[in-house]
A = this chain, B = another copy of it.
Amino acid sequence: MNKKILVINGPNLNIINRKGYGKLDLARIESTLQGEALKHGFEITSFQSNSEGKLIDFIQQSIEMEAAGIIINSGALTHYSYAIRDAIDSAGVPTVEVHITNIYNRDEFRHKSVIAPVCVGQVCGFEENSYLLGLLGLIKYLSTLEK
């Protein structure tokens, strides 16, 4: 049976096609990730919400789901949600932070991620490929844990 990887998207990532990110589409991204995950013996469970509380609920479910890892793009919550940070930290599931854009050449407030310190690593700036690279990085990280 395949191991689960959760792909979690925060506020406004359900409408990324609206502004700024060209022809991105969240459904297509999730589909691409599923395909890549299956090649490595993992399967993706996707979740998107505009609500910090529901995102935390889902991160906590990773415990019962015995998820192997998490890919998270917490949107603008990245910059102030210490509650999501604590959820990731408490759940104890290896988590990779991804961003579609290079958050370091946008508004000043986007330069700081409050969740980064409790994540394995961060990938940003590669548009939809940030997710794919994050997935590959997570899978490689998990394989070193097994050794």
Residues of chain A touching chain B, judged by Cβ–Cβ distance below 8 Å, are 10-12, 14-16, 18-20, 49-54, 56-57, 60, 63, 75-77, 79-83, 85-87, 89-92, 96, 102, 104-105, 109, 111-114, 116-127, 129-130, 132-133, 136-137, 140-141, 144
Contacts and interface: CB of A to CB of B under 8 A. Distances in A.
A46 B116 CA distance: 29
Given A12-B87, A16-B90, 16 more contacts: A11-B52, A15-B60, A18-B90, A75-B83, A76-B86, A102-B117, A102-B119, A105-B117, A121-B124, A121-B126, A122-B122, A123-B123, A125-B137, A126-B141, A130-B137, A133-B136
B56 A53 contact: no
A91 B18 contact: yes
Interface of chain A: mostly helix, strand, loop or mixed: helix
Given A52-B52, A83-B50, A129 B141 contact: yes
Contact of A122 (B12, B83, B117, B125): B125
